[in-house]
Amino acid sequence: GQQVMQIPQYQHVQEGEDFTTYCNSSTTLSNIQWYKQRPGGHPVFLIQLVKSGEVKKQKRLTFQFGEAKKNSSLHITATQTTDVGTYFCAGPGMDSNYQLIWGAGTKLIIKP
């Protein structure tokens, strides 16, 4: 079945270092969405990418959608403690348009 793989599962960084998470779909996606879940919180919608090769920025966050629309990445420059959480990617299901297929998430941990 359709899968959305996300790597790495965890990433430990020193505050101020960069962070990147990658998302790969087994099928072409019409769009890809990114969400952030803080510890103890709920997922919060960050952004949606629709176009092949699209790049969008939100302050220190850069989101990219691959040319083939099968992969995406989220890059955070100079991480801060407020960035801590789990970042999820999600894309529409191939078999059903009424469902998002979610990656397992990448947990960003700031080293003390």
Binding residues vs other proteins (CB under 8 A): 30-31, 33, 41-45, 48, 88, 90-93, 96-100, 102-105
CB of 59 to other proteins, least distance (A): 19
Q: Which amino acid is at 8?
A: P
Query: What letters, b where the CB count within 10 A reaches 16 and e where it falls short, cover 8-22?
Result: eeebebeeeeebbbb
CB of 15 to other proteins, least distance (A): 25
CB of 29 to other proteins, least distance (A): 9
Strand order in the sheet with 19-25: 4-7, 19-25, 71-76, 61-65, 55-58
**Distance separating alpha carbons of residues 24 and 27, to the nearest angstrom:** 9
